[in-house]
Amino acid sequence: MIIGLDVGGTHTDVVLLGNNGLMREIKVTTDSSDLFQTVLGGLEKITEGIEPAEISRVVLSTTLTTNAIVQEKNPQVGMIVSGGPGIDPELFRTNEHYFTVSGCMDHRGRETEPVNESDIRKIADTLKKEKIRNVGIVGKFSARNPAHELRIYEIIKDSFGKVFFGHQVSGHLNFPRRIATTYLNATVRPIHKEFFEAVRKSLEEKGLTVPIHILKADGGTMSLESSIDFPGQSILSGPAASVMGAIGFATDKDDALVLDIGGTTTDIALLVKGVPVLEPLGIRLGNYKTLIRSLKTRSIGLGGDSVVRVKDGKLEVGPDRVGPAMAYGGTFPTPTDALFVLRMVEDGDREKSVKGIETIAKALDMSSETVASHIFDHVCGKILTEARDMTDRINSKPVYTVHELQEGYQVKPKEILVLGGPAPYFAERFEALSDFSVSVVPRWKVANAIGAALARTTCEVTLFADTQQGIAASPEENFSETVDKNFSKEKAIRKADELLKQKALQSGAASIDDLETEVIEDLEFNMVHGFYTAGKNIRVKVQVKPGLIFDAGCLLDA
Amino acid sequence: MLTAKNKTGLVFFPAFDWAISPTHPEREERLLYTRDQVFEEGLFDIEGITELKADFARAQDVERVHFCIPDVWEVTTESHFISAGGAKTVGMAVLDKQVEKGFALVRPPGHHAMRMVHGARGFCNINIEAVMIEFLRAAYGVDRVAIVDTDCHHGDGTQDIYWHDPDTLFISIHQDGRTLYPGSGFINELGGPNAAGTTINIPLPPSTSEEGFLYTIRNMVLPILDDFKPDLIINSAGQDNHYSDPITNMNFSAQGYAELTSLLKADIAVLEGGYSIEGALPYVNVGIILAMAGIDYSNVKEPDYDPDRIRQSSEVSSYIEDVGEDVMEVWQQREEIKAERQGKKKFDERPRRIYYDTDGITERQNETIRICSDCGGALRIDSSSDRRGRVLAIHIPIKACKACREVGHEWYDSANTENFETVLLQDRPEDVLRVKELRS
């Protein structure tokens, strides 16, 4: 049996899946001031009366690290950043104890300026005096050659706790994001480590010694153990849980939109032939643009509990939420109240909804029923517009080859999958207002937790080779080997694939058999010096696609 | 968070799958390290810098500028349509006020492509700046345009296209033609009789460094731009004046290019040449982008940058000052020169022989321009090459006066069926290309 748990802003959803599909589903209230109790409470409740030995896997999607970053409640860390020529690295300052140092690599990973070791020692002394425990070390082009980051580590390693390296967060080239990502990993580490080790300990005390996986923003999982060194990967996993809950019901022939209608927001995601679209570089959280792999999702301030008001004679919905719908004891009319007025929902105090919607009706000089259906259409229409905008933006992403521009795949969603509390009502309306074929994700209320439960381990590997320098390397994977002139793109892909499978196993994949891998970049250039070919420059990127560990179809019959 | 002072739009199209030939300077690898540097600097993440997706230019956009022999498809590849289209995308973003500045970092380049195109010259097939400018004129009604060509090679193609256009100021700063391809671009090449003075050539001596280039911008280019008052300034941003460029002899730097960019304040920059693909382009392009966006570029330097090593000699400095005096004298006397060149003539002729070095084609031209004080003048080009038969190409300028329109049409209608394989009419007021194939 598998447990999936997804912490949301208001509710935490927990499911128990067995061989015959969904066995239990529960919702508990999220206590954001004590997430540990929320998570543990949810896990205790879902396993009541279940033999611990029957549970084989637990997947957790929490808001722990996201909240910690947004609330800026993290301990101080030290950052040592070497920039070299370009934008002044001081402009990428992440925190107080942030030091820019000399030392520089170029685009091919060749040293153009050495590290000044005495500077590093001085910085280490300062950080020690400030009682800094964790440190991040980031160099420009360290994804091409991590030697400087490793050299700095050698100098300071005995004085600090955990040291995070820029070259380990991603193979992508983006120095500012590398700095931000390394910083986030370093700063959320203590809270993440403490929390999940406590969860593991509590479960062990109950006899549950199963592998615990953490959901990532890219819709994949990683083992609790590997998350300790990359805690930043656990941020913003919520939208990913929903998408993973939906993909089992999407066709692999056409493109589709996934809409998760929540209380405060609606999250929009896109599937291309059943596979979710990823952010090209990584997720953004507040002011931090990162290299944390993530599904491309767009969150808009429109949900079942959004405040409805009239401003300058016009209807306005959201983006704010002030408590639940009036039918459930709230103080402002909401789209959910409109559903009550329209008698689409019945399980609350309709009188209160009518009262709230009437104030809007009066202001607009319409009947309550008309206004209610206007509100509902307004919300649905706006969500559809945003979804189309998102599709357009993905289609206008630049490409770099003639071939890609000519053959450029245009995403054309034909289908919408809806999940979240009010999914069925919205689905009906979306279909009426558009040409999409719309369906409600089975178990729409807890599909997010199901998505978390079934998500497979994902990862990505970047490998580059420079046959003039005679190297093939993947600094992120601590891999480097010498190669001869005959090293080719095909060999690079094989090597990268090998590293990818190894990484997937280390990150918690049960086996390499069900991994769907794909090549996402393969470039090979002749490097010419003075009209003669001096070598080949090869860049390869492979990934495990986000997907499910088994067919979600069985849930339909459960 | 880092924010651009000027909203800047970039089209980055490195054409990673296109080359003239495998070891040619214009090959797949050319913008690879620039991409690495631009990505690693995180330029596309800066608030106010937007990456735009290149559009394809259409055949009509090319035909508005060029007479392609035998046709557009024969003298271009897809990559040309994308690099011209990329320039067009950037131009539209600026004119639509989506961004304040735009930079088309595209390849292949275009500034050696002239009005007649029988093949490729100096790695160029179609003139991507001209395709963009003439599109902007047709679609947005842009009038006065200044092009400042800072490629190390004389922009002879752009010069040819705007030779007779008094509304387009073309300024080319380049290494002296006696020492570098294409061997032209002297101060006395100052435009046709109807547009004398609006072509400005500033030939600089080999070994010109930061000081000389910036002197040229401050003391020649900016005063001339002030007088001309263009609606739009385009920079043909070639990067081969760099001290590490393998095919030129100048001593310019990334810092210098960035400062030039911030002095020039061009609305749109379009990449031209530049073949020091590792030592120069990554840094020069980052410098130009930051300068356009109004972001501090003082730390953008080549790893081996040493201002003392590349400093120009006092001989070079004083030579450039002399060039400046000559250039400004021509500019100040442009009205007199124009009157003298027009004289009492009704038409003026210019016989030429043009060599397409990239494709090895020789073309002979005889150009006839109607002398006109009201517009750029109807233009007639009688052209033949060693590959194909004789062609007659007629151009009626976009702001042509009635008389020039009539002359243009008359030339077209009466073209002798025996003598020309093809007769073409670029009717810019109507924005169409008319073609007569006279032998079936």
Which runs of E-coded beta strand occur in A367-482? 413-419, 437-440, 460-466, 471-474, 479-482
Quote the CA–CA distance of B261 and B272 in Å, as a whole number. Answer: 14
A401 → closest Cβ in B17, B45, B278:
B17
Are B53 and A397 a contacting pair at CB < 8 A? Answer: yes
Same-domain status, B331 and B364:
no
Q: How far is A177 from chain B (nearest CA, A)?
A: 7
CATH number at A2-71+190-242? 3.30.420.40
pLDDT of amino acid A553: 61
Cβ-Cβ pairs closer than 8 A, A with B, add up to 123
Are A400 and B32 a contacting pair at CB < 8 A? Answer: no
Same-domain status, B140 and B168:
yes
Report the Cα–Cα distance between both ends of chain B, in Å, rounded: 66
Are B283 and A405 a contacting pair at CB < 8 A? Answer: no
pLDDT of amino acid A71: 84
Q: Which of these, A503, A508, A499, A502, lies nearest to A456 by C-alpha position? A: A508
Same-domain status, B210 and B350:
no
pLDDT higher than threshold 50 for residue B41: yes
Domain boundary among B305, B335, B365: B335
Are A175 and B246 a contacting pair at CB < 8 A? Answer: no
Predicted confidence band of residue A146 (pLDDT cuts 50, 70, 90): very high
Same-domain status, B47 and B131:
yes
Query: B392: how many CB neighbours lie within 10 A of its CB?
Result: 23
Backbone angles phi, psi at A229, to 5 degrees: -90, -15
CATH code, domain carrying B70: 3.40.800.20
Chain B residues within 8 A of A106 when measuring between CB atoms: 278, 303
Whole-number mean pLDDT of chain A? 92
Choose, from B66, B80, B111, B112, the residue flagged as catalytic. B112
Are B52 and A398 a contacting pair at CB < 8 A? Answer: yes
Same-domain status, B77 and B167:
yes
pLDDT of amino acid A215: 97
A400 touches B: beta carbon within 8 Å = yes
pLDDT of amino acid B235: 98
Nearest CA in chain A to B37: A107
Residue B410 bridge partners (DSSP): none
Interacting residues of B64 by C-beta distance below 8 A, sequence separation 6+: B131, B134, B135, B138, B426, B428, B431, B433
pLDDT higher than threshold 50 for residue B53: yes
Nearest CA in chain A to B10: A398
Q: How far is B435 from chain A (nearest CA, A)?
A: 29
Asked whether the beta carbons of B79 and B90 are under 8 A apart, the reply is no
A173 → closest Cβ in B16, B36, B246:
B36
Amino acid letter, A512: I
Q: Which residue has the tokens 């442009």?
A: B334
B84-98 residues labelled b (16+ CB within 10 A) or e (exposed): bbbbbbbbbbbbeee
Whether the predicted interface score ipTM is above 0.90: yes
Whole-number mean pLDDT of chain B? 95
Higher-scoring residue by pLDDT: B16, A120: A120
pLDDT of amino acid A558: 42
Average pLDDT over residues A454-464: 95
A4-35 residues labelled b (16+ CB within 10 A) or e (exposed): bbbbbeebbbbbbbeeebbebbbbbebeeeeb
Amino acid letter, A308: V
A289 touches B: beta carbon within 8 Å = yes
A397 touches B: beta carbon within 8 Å = yes
Same-domain status, B375 and B312:
no
Predicted confidence band of residue A552 (pLDDT cuts 50, 70, 90): low
Specify the DSSP element, H or E, that contains A368.
Answer: helix A368-395
Average pLDDT over residues A69-86: 90
Q: How far is A193 from chain B (nearest CA, A)?
A: 29
* Residue range of the domain that includes B350: 344-437
Nearest CA in chain A to B302: A85
Chain B residues within 8 A of A532 when measuring between CB atoms: 23
Are B301 and A406 a contacting pair at CB < 8 A? Answer: no
**Structure tokens of A434?**
């558009």
- % of chain B at pLDDT higher than 70: 99
Same-domain status, B381 and B298:
no
Q: How far is B166 from chain A (nearest CA, A)?
A: 36
Q: Which of these, B277, B53, B27, lies nearest to B285 by C-alpha position? A: B277
- % of chain A at pLDDT higher than 90: 79
Average pLDDT over residues A312-334: 91
B15 → closest Cβ in A106, A175, A402:
A402
pLDDT higher than threshold 80 for residue B377: yes
Interacting residues of A521 by C-beta distance below 8 A, sequence separation 6+: A462, A539, A540, A541
Residue among B18, B40, B92, B244 with most chain A CBs within 10 A, to mutate: B40
Asked whether the beta carbons of B125 and B81 are under 8 A apart, the reply is no
B372 touches A: beta carbon within 8 Å = no
Same-domain status, B348 and B331:
no
- % of chain A at pLDDT higher than 70: 99
Q: Which of these, B310, B213, B223, B304, lies nearest to B261 by C-alpha position? A: B213
pLDDT of amino acid B17: 87
Q: Which of these, A449, A75, A389, lies nearest to A244 by C-alpha position? A: A449
A406 → closest Cβ in B2, B37, B78:
B78
Average pLDDT over residues B356-374: 94
pLDDT higher than threshold 80 for residue A404: no
The reply to whether B112 belongs to the active site is yes
pLDDT higher than threshold 90 for residue A400: no
Are A287 and B29 a contacting pair at CB < 8 A? Answer: no
Quote the CA–CA distance of B276 and B370 in Å, as a whole number. Answer: 43
How remote is the C-alpha of A431 from its chain's centroid?
29
Q: How far is A434 from chain B (nearest CA, A)?
A: 28
pLDDT of amino acid B346: 96
Average pLDDT over residues B198-207: 98
Number of domains forming the structure of chain B: 2
Average pLDDT over residues A457-468: 96
B21 touches A: beta carbon within 8 Å = no
Are A107 and B282 a contacting pair at CB < 8 A? Answer: yes
The dihedral through the CA atoms of A111, A114, A117, A119 has a sign that is negative
Report the Cα–Cα distance between both ends of chain A, in Å, rounded: 14
A13 phi-psi bin (left φ>0, alpha ψ -120 to 50, beta other): beta
pLDDT of amino acid A251: 87
Q: How far is B288 from chain A (nearest CA, A)?
A: 12
Question: B3 in helix, strand or coil?
Answer: strand
Are B300 and A528 a contacting pair at CB < 8 A? Answer: no
Q: Which residue has the tokens 């053959």?
A: A407
**Structure tokens of B393?**
């190409």
Specify the DSSP element, H or E, that contains B36.
Answer: helix B32-40
Instruction: For chain B, positions 127-156, list CB contacts with chain A under 8 A.
Output: none
pLDDT higher than threshold 80 for residue B54: yes
Cα angle value B80/B81/B86 (rounded, 5°) = 95
Chain A residues within 8 A of B278 when measuring between CB atoms: 106-108
Tell whether omega for the bond before A319 is within 30 degrees of 0, i.e. cis.
yes
Instruction: For chain A, positions 521-540, list CB contacts with chain B under 8 A.
Output: 523, 525-528, 530-533, 537
The fold of the A253-442 domain, in CATH, is: Nucleotidyltransferase; domain 5 (3.30.420)
B84 touches A: beta carbon within 8 Å = no
Average pLDDT over residues A61-72: 88
Question: B289 in helix, strand or coil?
Answer: helix
pLDDT of amino acid B191: 97
Same-domain status, B99 and B225:
yes
Average pLDDT over residues B322-341: 97
A108 touches B: beta carbon within 8 Å = yes
Average pLDDT over residues A272-290: 91
For A206-258, how does the pLDDT look when each residue is reduced to its tens digit (9 = 90+)?
898 999 999 999 999 999 999 999 999 999 999 999 999 999 899 889 999 99
Instruction: For chain B, positions 284-303, list CB contacts with chain A under 8 A.
Output: 286, 290, 295-296, 298-303
Instruction: For chain B, positions 239-278, list CB contacts with chain A under 8 A.
Output: 246, 278
pLDDT of amino acid A459: 94
Asked whether the beta carbons of A499 and A214 are under 8 A apart, the reply is no
B296 → closest Cβ in A88, A396, A525:
A88
DSSP secondary structure code for residue B121 in this structure: B
Are B28 and A525 a contacting pair at CB < 8 A? Answer: yes
Domain boundary among B284, B316, B335: B335
Are A405 and B82 a contacting pair at CB < 8 A? Answer: yes
Chain A residues within 8 A of B51 when measuring between CB atoms: 398
Interacting residues of A404 by C-beta distance below 8 A, sequence separation 6+: none
Chain A residues within 8 A of B79 when measuring between CB atoms: 402
Q: Which residue stretches of B199-347 are H helix?
A: 210-216, 222-228, 254-264, 281-293, 307-310, 314-332, 334-342
Q: Which residue has the tokens 């927990």?
A: A14
Quote the CA–CA distance of B97 and B95 in Å, as a whole number. Answer: 5
Q: What are the start and end residues of each CATH 3.30.420.40 domain in chain A?
A: 2-71+190-242
Domain boundary among B317, B335, B353: B335
Asked whether the beta carbons of B288 and B270 are under 8 A apart, the reply is no
- Cα distances (Å, whole numbers) of residue A5 to A189, A245, A293, A454, B357: 21, 12, 21, 11, 68
- Cα distances (Å, whole numbers) of residue A236 to A187, A192, A267, A337, B27: 16, 14, 12, 29, 42
A85 → closest Cβ in B29, B82, B283:
B283
pLDDT of amino acid A181: 97
For B58-84, how does the pLDDT look when each residue is reduced to its tens digit (9 = 90+)?
999 999 999 999 999 999 999 999 999
Architecture of domain A78-185: 3-Layer(aba) Sandwich (3.40)
Quote the CA–CA distance of B331 and B201 in Å, as a whole number. Answer: 11
DSSP secondary structure code for residue A354 in this structure: H
pLDDT higher than threshold 80 for residue A547: yes
Same-domain status, B331 and B350:
no
Instruction: For chain B, positions 30-69, list CB contacts with chain A under 8 A.
Output: 32-33, 35-37, 39-42, 45, 51-54, 56
Lowest mean pLDDT: which of A101-110, A397-406, B371-380? A397-406
Specify the DSSP element, H or E, that contains B201.
Answer: strand B199-204
Which runs of E-coded beta strand occur in A151-285? 163-165, 212-215, 221-223, 255-261, 266-272, 275-276, 284-285
A409 touches B: beta carbon within 8 Å = no
For B253-279, how does the pLDDT look when each residue is reduced to its tens digit (9 = 90+)?
999 999 999 999 999 999 999 999 999
Nearest CA in chain B to A113: B303
A403 → closest Cβ in B17, B286, B290:
B17
DSSP secondary structure code for residue B153 in this structure: S
Instruction: For chain A, positions 155-194, list CB contacts with chain B under 8 A.
Output: 172-177
For A484-540, how does the pLDDT look when each residue is reduced to its tens digit (9 = 90+)?
999 999 999 999 999 999 999 999 998 888 788 999 999 999 998 877 889 999 999
Chain A residues within 8 A of B304 when measuring between CB atoms: 112
Higher-scoring residue by pLDDT: A410, B222: B222
Are B16 and A525 a contacting pair at CB < 8 A? Answer: yes
- Reduced 3-state DSSP string for A81-96: EECCCCCCHHHHCCCC
Q: Which of these, B161, B153, B159, B151, lies nearest to B177 by C-alpha position? A: B153
How remote is the C-alpha of B290 from its chain's centroid?
22
Average pLDDT over residues A188-207: 93
Exposed, middle or buried, A78 (CB in 10 Å: 0-12/13-18/19+)?
Answer: buried
- Cα distances (Å, whole numbers) of residue A108 to A464, B228, B342: 10, 45, 57
B16 touches A: beta carbon within 8 Å = yes
pLDDT of amino acid B438: 60
pLDDT higher than threshold 90 for residue A454: yes
Same-domain status, B329 and B352:
no
